[in-house]
Amino acid sequence: MDKTFLMVKPDGVQRGLIGEIVKRFEMKGFQLIAAKLLIVSKEQAEFHYAEHREKPFYGELVDFITSGPVFAMVWQGDDIVTLSRLMMGKTKAVDAVPGTIRGDFSIHTGMNLIHGSDSPEAAVREIGNFFPPEELVAYERAN
């Protein structure tokens, strides 16, 4: 089953949007298999954002993601990497269309509420950065 790593960023937690965001993925039909509220460590942030190390905003990225609690999650379902990114909306604020999470709730490119893995390979790496295998819960769903 396809899996992805989704994380409500510090701005989403501060704004009380965890429930709204979780609801959207539940109602879409995806299955939540792990979740926790945590403060991201500097080491976790540097690993998570390794591909952005050379970007001018890298320092801001690490500072922001470690600035307060995040809500880290693992979800599964068919084509979840692609579909979850469609539901999140584009990274750049002006491209995030209404109907998406960012399009409905954010006007910022940096403070854009949610992170989602951009490939199945990234999902494996990102899940491993936040969840030991025993924290992924396997269960059958009725629907």
* CA angle (121, 115, 107) in 5-degree steps: 145
| Window 13-52: residues binding ligand CMP (CB under 6 A) | 52
Q: Which stretch binds ligand CMP (CB under 6 A): 17-25, 29-37, 53-61, 123-131?
A: 53-61
User: Which residue has the CB atom at the shortest distance from ligand CMP?
Assistant: 115
Question: Can residue 57 be called a binding residue for ligand CMP (CB under 6 A)?
Answer: yes
Q: 34 pairs with which residues across the strands?
A: 74
Min dist. Cβ of residue 85 to ligand CMP (A): 9
Question: Can residue 91 be called a binding residue for ligand CMP (CB under 6 A)?
Answer: yes
Q: What long-range pairs does 36-43 form, CB within 8 A, spacing at least 24?
A: 36/71, 36/72, 36/130, 36/131, 36/135, 37/13, 37/69, 37/70, 37/71, 37/72, 38/69, 38/70, 38/72, 38/130, 39/66, 39/68, 39/69, 39/70, 40/65, 40/66, 40/70, 41/66, 42/66
d(C-alpha 134, C-alpha 130), whole Å: 12
Q: Which of 112, 117, 127, 130 binds ligand CMP (CB under 6 A)?
A: 112
Of 48, 52, 108, 115, the active-site residue reads 115
Question: Can residue 117 be called a binding residue for ligand CMP (CB under 6 A)?
Answer: no
Nearer to ligand CMP, 91 or 129 (CB): 91
Note if 52 is an active site residue.
no
Residues that contact ligand CMP, how many (by CB under 6 A) = 9
Give me the active site residues, please. Answer: 115
What residues line the site for ligand CMP (CB under 6 A)?
52, 57, 60-61, 91, 109-110, 112, 115
